[in-house]
Amino acid sequence: MKRLTSILTAAGLVALAACANENTAAPPAAPATTTAATDTPAVPATPAAPATPAVAATPATPATPAVPATPATPAVSSLSVTPNGDVTVGKAPPDFTTKASNGQAVHLTELKGKPVVVYFYPKDETPGCTKEACSFRDSFDKLSKKGVVLIGVSADTDESHRAFADHQKLPFLLVSDPNGELAKAYGVPFKDGYSGRQTFVIGADGNVKKIYRKVDVTVHAQEVGKDVGA
């Protein structure tokens, strides 16, 4: 009987323990929280900008027609010539008034009473003309003692004459005859802006004493010196 009681007691204890275990069991796990997918909708792509239409090429500006060249204006000169027909020995030569390149006024008839030598030459600073001018320069002292007025004439400008006189140390007058007016009045050839090489020796009486239609520049100054007694 005691054994049965022990068995029952043990069985009751087991049942109580089981019951206690039931009452202290961990609470059931909370159901898992499920988060619904919340994908952000994709941003639509920005449409491509339309291509800029090509700019049409600017048509080329037509070339400006060339302006025709202005005809050369004849050189202005202070020269005034009074023709006197053909120039011959024993006769008064054509009168003229002008300003020499150094600014000195020249009037041929007012030089009466003095021997005057008017020599025409082609161009300043050329070999033959330079030799002739320098020969007159070297003889100038003798010519001056006889009162001779020496006048060189060419188509060169006054500026060119001044440069020529300064460079070669020429002590006499140089006159510009740009259009050949004076040369033609004395019967001196004038072509393409150049006068021929000729010389006129005018006596103190105002008449032509000697004419050189051909000139040798190597001896010309000496020839003229003899003509005026220098």
Residues carrying an active site annotation: 129
Q: Which amino acid does the sequence have at 73?
A: T
- Structure tokens, 32: 């898992």
Query: CB-side exposure of 136: number of CA atoms within 13 Å?
Result: 28
Alpha helices in 41-180 (DSSP H): 127-145, 158-168
What is the spatial distance between Cα 138 and Cα 13, in angstroms, rounded to a whole number?
Answer: 168
Query: DSSP E strands: which ranges in the chain?
Result: 80-82, 95-99, 105-107, 116-120, 149-154, 173-176, 190-191, 194-195, 198-202, 208-212
* Number of residues written out for the chain: 230
